[in-house]
Structure 1
Amino acid sequence: MADTCTLHILHTNDVHSHFSSMSRIATCLRQNRQRWEALGEHVLTVDIGDHADRMDVKTEATWGRANVEVLNHSGYEYVTIGNNEGITFPKERLDALYEQATFTVVLGNLIDPATGRIPPWAASHAVHEWDDLRVGILGVTASFPPFYKLLGWESKEPLEHLREQVAALRPNVDVIVLLSHLGYPDDCRLARELQGVDVILGAHTHHQLERGEHINGTLVAQTGVFGRHVGHVRLVWDRVAKRVREASAELLVSSEYPSEPVLDALLAKKQEAAEKRLDQTAVELSVNLNISWTEETAFGSILAASLRKWTQAEVGLANNGLLLAPLKNGRVSYRDLLHCVPHPINPCAVSITGEQLYKVLQQSIQPQTVNRELRGFGFRGKVTGWMGIDGLHVWYETGDSPRISRVEVNGEALDAGRTYRVGTIDMFMFNRMFPELAEGADVRFYLPEMLREILAQTLADTELIAAALQPRWLPLAPS
């Protein structure tokens, strides 16, 4: 037996249901596996989560099972979950997601409170063995305790949990690989503070690490987003010295590989079935609902009113940039709603003072806010857009620097010292675009329903629709 052996790890992350990349990824995995195994070298194929994204019709219509079929077909051996699997799927759907998986889901920090253990569809760790190499595999996902709790899960803080796992696993394996959907900053922290992990394969923050990074003896790698690249980590294990002699990382360009006809045909079939399934009627509309990101619209007011109603708040706020397609008078399908509001965003309620509410409204009408490009935090649009409001009438002076002159809350003048309950979107709690909202009190998140599922109910409310046709933002000439 040779003194060294070579391990290749092919990894993807944050594909986000970009099925157009998946066929080429499958070819990349297959061709490289065949090439390296023909040389007597070892290969592992892994995905680090957020493979599924419910903005795609195939994912939405199958509750992610189309993604699992693609992972199966592509020859993946190990995966962990991301927040898009963990907190955009209701618990019963996540429990069923991997029933037909031919790979192992490795996930150590998600607990089912009913049993006090990880769910039965996951393994806390795995050991992949060849005659001359034993690889321990761990997996963790980003911990969002309030969200997971609302969905019926408990998420553990990963660092201390991983310390225990590594200490138990290290004596029994040659190499430890961590599948981490925590994000690049946390991966760097783990590399500095967690001894005994040879490779951290990352995700979540969409960092594209061309050659990986070596931190405190650990190789950190991440491939970017949307399946544009497949990561390749190469390890040389020294059997005599019992250590990793070489560790390197690179990115392979997915588009440079040919698509796989069998998988292309499968995806076309899935697309047709998904379109048909989502073509069911969600609601009948009596009006046309147009969109605009730069001015008040009835549709924006309806979304704000829907959030206010859902959260039983006094005021509703929702930026028009959330609305990506108009809805026409007549039959509205679930597919129409998905195209209109594809975000994995949930309602929330927060308490702020009248003074804080005034600041939010004042900031929301500034041109730099309306036209600000947005990325991340579940947002699937392009710009913030005008702020849709409900429970409010706002008089404002137009111009290059608009200024609010007067605000009424449910027919009464805004009281700067009073506390108001505001129904809005969870995104504002994280991106700090409106600090007054992010710093508010008594925040409550509403899961699992997303915006489109709420609209499917509120668009049938004829009184809510009729009220939203009346302007709430009332322009005045500059003084």
Structure 2
Amino acid sequence: MTLEDIHIYHTNDLHSHFEHWTRISSFLQRRKYLHQSANEEVLLFDIGDHMDRWHPLTDATRGKRNTELLNEVGYTAVTIGNNEGITLSFEDLDTLYQRRRFDVVVANFFTANGTRPQWVKPYQIYELKNKARVAVIGLTAYFSHFYKQLGWTLSEPLEELKHQLAEIKEKADMIILLSHLGIHDDEAIAEQFPEIDVILGAHTHHVFHEGKEINGVILGAAGKYGMFVGHITLTIDSETLHVRKKRAIAYDSNQLPYVEGEKEEENQLYEEGKALLLTEVARIGEPYRSREVLARLLCETLRSWCNVDSAFLNEGLILRDLPNETVTEYDLLSICPHPINPTVVDLSGAEYQEVIRLALEEKWRNMMIKGLGFRGTFMGQMIFEGVEVKHGKNGLSFYINGKQIEREARYKVAIPDMFTFGQLFPEIRRAEYKVYFFPEFMRDLLRWKLQNLQ
């Protein structure tokens, strides 16, 4: 029996954090060269959210420079994450991979009419030198409602996986799943589909330092922001092509070999994006030297843009002031970098009063928050538009545009979409009526307002 090793390297959830990218790129290219020199097979995958529009270069090029960076390393295939999928307009996503030199595999991704775009494959089968056939399937997170508003359609991931596995089971000797679904779905898939050899995970930013084996399936995951690089080694019988051994490790990027000029390259990527964004979008009569004043302007804009009676948001959405009369795209990105969309929810008066009570608590001012699309640090105080709170003998009473809120009445409220996720505001999360506006971010509303100041 002759044994051979297949080396699989994987990254995920870089989110345009290029602090380690030069080091990762050098490491992967060097490893690829060494394996190929030893006549060993090597495959390289990214599991989505490589791009994030908080970074000037990604925002300015709508992710196309991220595609070029993946090309330079020599990736074999990628799948998309929600940052590729729902923070770009239809046209921007449809052209994101025009110049790719790798495969894009996303089995549950379709156009609105149910066909796959020309740049997407449900799976790809790679035939190795020893004739072993490796099938690679991709799946992305099931944010079907959001994709629909942007002109795309998603199928349910596990049902799609069943369909694709049935199609490829006779065509492949090994199966690798690129999963931007999250750790819980990955573990469930491993239990349900033991015919899969490897699941490379993403989305929930988890790390498996030495992999995790479930039901004979090995799971790999490399955290977030390029902090780790994953490496799976499959040892196969070169005659029967059966997998005999599976090993996994996650390399800490801080411990990868230093690359001369890496900090300069990171800065260069930032400055390249900044230069592209130094285009004037508005001229204002007086600078805004207060974050709170800008946050109030954004809240006022949110209410009018969504055409509702009231709105509220957190001051932490605004990261700095506007000190100059000329406003550029870079200013808007620096002020409000979050991929957060305007949203309208419908609440009863009783529910809205509970939301307001909670929003008035002091805890928000210094609450640190990560995720939910938020790219700042502190939530900051809550700012309202159209809402008045009065203190009386019987406690607080609440008014919208001068009229007291009625417990049984219904109210439409404009908010940042992050309030509908997690446990920030339970009444909002439970609301049945939610309308998300795509592809506009909160900074797009701010641009619109600054361009139309009287």
Alignment TM-score, normalising by the size of structure 1:
0.90
The 2-side partners of 1:250 and 1:453 are apart by 42
The 2-side partners of 1:313 and 1:85 are apart by 30
Per-residue displacement from partner, 1:366-393 (whole Å, max 9, x unpaired)? Answer: 2223322211111111122111111112
Aligned to 2:115: 117
How far did residue 260 of structure 1 move? 5.5
Aligned to 2:398: 407
Aligned to 1:126: 124
Q: Are the counterparts in 2 of residues 73 and 263 from structure 1 also a CA contact under 8 Å?
A: no
Q: Are the counterparts in 2 of residues 200 and 221 from structure 1 also a CA contact under 8 Å?
A: yes
The 2-side partners of 1:262 and 1:100 are apart by 27
How far did residue 253 of structure 1 move? 2.1
Aligned to 2:245: 246
Instruction: Return closer, same or farther for 1:404/1:429 CA change in 2, 3 Å cut-off.
Output: farther
Q: Are the counterparts in 1 of residues 22 and 265 from structure 2 also a CA contact under 8 Å?
A: no
Aligned to 1:282: 281
The 2-side partners of 1:441 and 1:252 are apart by 44
Q: Are the counterparts in 1 of residues 137 and 176 from structure 2 also a CA contact under 8 Å?
A: yes
- The two structures, once aligned, show a CA RMSD in angstroms of 2.0
Please list, as runs of the form range in 1=range in 2, the aligned pairs for 1:88-99 lying within 5 A after superposition. Answer: 88-99=87-98
SS at match of 1:361: helix
The 1-side partners of 2:87 and 2:258 are apart by 29
Letter in 2 for 1:192: E
Q: Are the counterparts in 1 of residues 49 and 81 from structure 2 also a CA contact under 8 Å?
A: yes
The 1-side partners of 2:358 and 2:290 are apart by 21
Q: Are the counterparts in 1 of residues 311 and 413 from structure 2 also a CA contact under 8 Å?
A: yes
Please list, as runs of the form range in 1=range in 2, the aligned pairs for 1:37-436 lying within 5 A after superposition. Answer: 37-114=36-113, 116-132=114-130, 133-240=132-239, 242-258=241-257, 270-291=269-290, 297-395=292-390, 405-436=396-427
Letter in 1 for 2:322: L
The 1-side partners of 2:262 and 2:276 are apart by 21
The 2-side partners of 1:309 and 1:72 are apart by 43
Q: Are the counterparts in 2 of residues 181 and 204 from structure 1 also a CA contact under 8 Å?
A: yes
Q: Are the counterparts in 2 of residues 26 and 260 from structure 1 also a CA contact under 8 Å?
A: no
Percentage of identical aligned residues:
36
Per-residue displacement from partner, 1:197-225 (whole Å, max 9, x unpaired)? Answer: 11000000000111111111111111000
Q: Are 2:5 and 1:6 aligned?
A: yes
SS at match of 2:20: helix
The 2-side partners of 1:23 and 1:76 are apart by 15
Q: Are the counterparts in 2 of residues 111 and 154 from structure 1 also a CA contact under 8 Å?
A: yes
How far did residue 238 of structure 1 move? 2.2
Unaligned runs of 5+ in 1: 398-402, 464-479
The 1-side partners of 2:267 and 2:366 are apart by 37
Per-residue displacement from partner, 1:306-334 (whole Å, max 9, x unpaired)? Answer: 22122111111111111111112511111
Per-residue displacement from partner, 1:274-303 (whole Å, max 9, x unpaired)? Answer: 2222111122223443456xxxx3222222
Q: Are the counterparts in 2 of residues 282 and 333 from structure 1 also a CA contact under 8 Å?
A: yes
Q: Are the counterparts in 1 of residues 23 and 262 from structure 2 also a CA contact under 8 Å?
A: no
Instruction: Return closer, same or farther for 1:350/1:371 CA change in 2, 3 Å cut-off.
Output: same
Letter in 1 for 2:425: F
Per-residue displacement from partner, 1:410-434 (whole Å, max 9, x unpaired)? Answer: 1212222211110111111111311
The 2-side partners of 1:322 and 1:291 are apart by 13
Letter in 1 for 2:122: S
Aligned to 1:450: 441
How far did residue 404 of structure 1 move? 6.5
Q: Are the counterparts in 1 of residues 284 and 325 from structure 2 also a CA contact under 8 Å?
A: yes
Q: Are the counterparts in 2 of residues 45 and 76 from structure 1 also a CA contact under 8 Å?
A: yes
The 1-side partners of 2:425 and 2:6 are apart by 48
The 1-side partners of 2:202 and 2:219 are apart by 11
Aligned to 1:27: 26
The 2-side partners of 1:417 and 1:109 are apart by 42
The 2-side partners of 1:68 and 1:442 are apart by 37
The 1-side partners of 2:137 and 2:174 are apart by 11
* Residue correspondences, number: 452
Instruction: Return closer, same or farther for 1:372/1:265 CA change in 2, 3 Å cut-off.
Output: closer
Instruction: Return closer, same or farther for 1:86/1:215 CA change in 2, 3 Å cut-off.
Output: same
Letter in 2 for 1:459: L
How far did residue 163 of structure 1 move? 0.9
Q: Are the counterparts in 2 of residues 8 and 232 from structure 1 also a CA contact under 8 Å?
A: yes
The 1-side partners of 2:284 and 2:398 are apart by 31
SS at match of 2:95: helix
Instruction: Return closer, same or farther for 1:396/1:171 CA change in 2, 3 Å cut-off.
Output: farther
Q: Are the counterparts in 2 of residues 66 and 270 from structure 1 also a CA contact under 8 Å?
A: no
The 2-side partners of 1:391 and 1:203 are apart by 41
Q: Are the counterparts in 1 of residues 137 and 178 from structure 2 also a CA contact under 8 Å?
A: yes
The 2-side partners of 1:441 and 1:160 are apart by 26
